Structure 1
């Protein structure tokens, strides 16, 4: 015969069972490994931050959420433009993406590739930290992923093996590699160059064999992968577009985490993104540190930093491309971006 106390204990346990069951089910549904994809590899900031994010999440969850990085976009055969599709197919769980590589599937991401929209870091920050950044995250969220933080891979500068580039005419006839996005083909075609699309994995051998004359990438990547040893002896600093980074998680994966784990994943992404931005800007003179520019000189790279007047000549030459793609990105989004950039000056 059960005592009144025993009967109360059974009732309390029965009432608590429905609450406990979902927690048990969720804990049991965690994978043994979560795959994080990123283009390139350490030490470039975009890739290094992916490792930082994975390490933070794994450590802070005591290994319950075990995140492993697959650099070089190896989960999609080196084709970084397929990462979003692979996330939606369940092949990739976490991703640190460049907006350039998202743009073939999401036209709005071409915003950061509108030529000469952003003169420098203050303009970039105004976009990612304001209404434009929130609008773009809402767009990305409709693609079965959960965006968590904005990062930065850096402003993309132009290098080549032929000659210094100061005027649009200097690009005439050059074979210039670009990563993805028809907007880049339009920009270089407008400038009289011959644009060639290829993956990052194919870029280095293409430069070493002369299959392409030049490429455009952030200075941090140029230095890390020693492109000066691949005949890239001329570099033009023109800040024609910026490469934004996005830390995001596949929505089914995100939904499988508890709220506490979601906060750990999100906060870890924000921390890694903050470090990514700092690393992307290091040594470029924005805060007085010119170590990256000094390293270019030490390696014998001829650096041309365009004046405002010289940049205006390129901006004017590519205005038809800007107008065409501003319409495709969305007139209202482009207008917001221009207003935010103007206000940041």
Structure 2
């Protein structure tokens, strides 16, 4: 009698195990053969490296069940990087490691990172992304149809040009500066007396080479990898006027097809890839490690480091832009950001 009960129980356990395996297999069968991950720039840029690390970690941790592939150059949206977020919402793009700047046309609150001179150092960026501002932004993004998983970093955007050293706002008068497709950037450079020109990064490099534009603003990792000194960019000004955090995101339509276990796997992999990406983005441009700055100077490029008084002149010149956009973004969010920066741990 006891033996029959034991065999029946064992059979039930085996049946349950087979059923679980079958359900797991059925779920895996519903997964796509490949998930497309959109980025603007590839490896060896820090942006591309963070995306590739995410792909690698997910593949390893899922034992190859979840296969992702990075598509750089915003090629999934025909090169128009500002359409990336909308394409994810619609399920046209599965996933992305996206710029807060490029997503800001659809999520106006992301303009917080482009508020001129809000963030004076890396600790300030961390205070925003890892604090209440970051949490609120993630809540907003998810309500718009994209599930945000973690932060990476493109870095502080420094100014370069082919004409002269920039030490004062007056030095920018009349210079044609390539900027990203955001009205806030147009307002900022117009306030500084420059002639801002919006264009994609793909169009920017040939425009610099031909002199159609005089300069651009981007993280120094872009400068070194893209070798901007070869397209006339011989003057760099370190002013850290805005930064460009990156977000690992998944289309809500795609996200809902994953099991809770795989959702957790994707999130943790994104966070680990983000930590790696931030380390790469900051390498060589800090007080403890200025190797990238020395490398750039070794290329015959002049680097201008602003004094506190010189930087303040730029702050004053763009204050009207800051106040205008504080209303656009939301005064409460801006106030929270200012408090987070003021209370940051340096």
What interval of TM-score do these two structures reach, taking the shorter chain for normalisation?
over 0.9
Partner of 1:315: 315
Give deviations 1:7-43, integer Å, cap 9, x for gaps: 8788888988987775444222111000001001111
Once residues 246 and 6 of structure 1 are traced to their aligned partners in structure 2, the CA distance between those partners, rounded to angstroms, is 53
Instruction: Name the structure 2 match of 1:84.
Output: 85
CA distance in structure 1 between the partners assigned to 2:114 and 2:151 by the alignment = 16
Q: CA RMSD in A?
A: 1.9
Change (3 A) 1:20 1:64: closer
Q: TM-score, normalised by structure 2?
A: 0.94
What displacement does 1:245 show?
0.6
Residue 336 of structure 1, CA deviation? 0.3
CA distance in 2 between counterparts of 1:57 and 1:291 reads: 32
What do residues 293-338 of structure 1 show as CA deviations (whole Å, max 9, x unaligned)? 0011110111001111111100000000000001111000000000
Partner of 1:337: 337
SS of structure 2 residue aligned to 1:240: coil
Whether the aligned pair in 1 keeps the contact of 2:40 and 2:81 (CA below 8 Å) is yes
Alpha-carbon distance in structure 1 between the residues aligned to 2:19 and 2:60: 30
1:249 maps to 250
1:99 is matched with which residue?
Answer: 100
Contact 2:46 2:277 in 1 (8 A): yes
SS in structure 2 of the partner of residue 232 of structure 1: coil
* Residue of structure 1 in register with 2:167 after alignment: 166
Match of 1:190 in 2: 191
The structure-2 alpha-carbon separation of the partners of 1:172 and 1:59, relative to structure 1 and needing over 3 Å to count, comes to: same
Counterpart Cα distance in 2 of 1:56 and 1:250? 19
- 2:305 is matched with 305
CA-to-aligned-CA distance 1:140-188 (integer Å, 9 cap, x gap): 1111111010111110000000100000011010110011210000001
What is the total number of aligned residue pairs between the two structures?
342
Contact 2:163 2:214 in 1 (8 A): yes
1:35 partner SS: strand
Alignment partners' CA distance in 2, 1:17 and 1:295: 59
Shift of 1:217: 0.1
How many Å separate the matches in 2 of 1:307 and 1:4?
83
Structure 2: how far apart are the matches of 1:202 and 1:91?
24
> What SS does structure 1 have at the residue aligned with 2:58?
helix
Secondary structure at the aligned position of 1:151 is classed as: strand
Instruction: Quote the Cα distance in structure 1 between the aligned partners of 2:300 and 2:158.
Output: 17
- Structure 1 pair 112–16 and aligned structure 2 pair: CA distance change class (3 A): same
Specify the SS of the correspondent of 1:285.
coil
1:127-166 maps to which residues of 2 (within 5 A)? 127-166=128-167
Which residue of 2 is the match for residue 229 of structure 1?
A: 230
- The residue aligned with 1:199 is 200
Check whether the contact 2:50–2:152 (CA below 8 A) recurs between aligned residues.
Answer: no
Unaligned runs of 5+ in 2: none
Q: What is the CA deviation profile of residues 65-84 of structure 1, one whole-angstrom value per residue up to 9, with x for unaligned ones?
A: 10011011111111111111
Runs of 4+ in 1 over 3 A off after TM superposition: 3-25
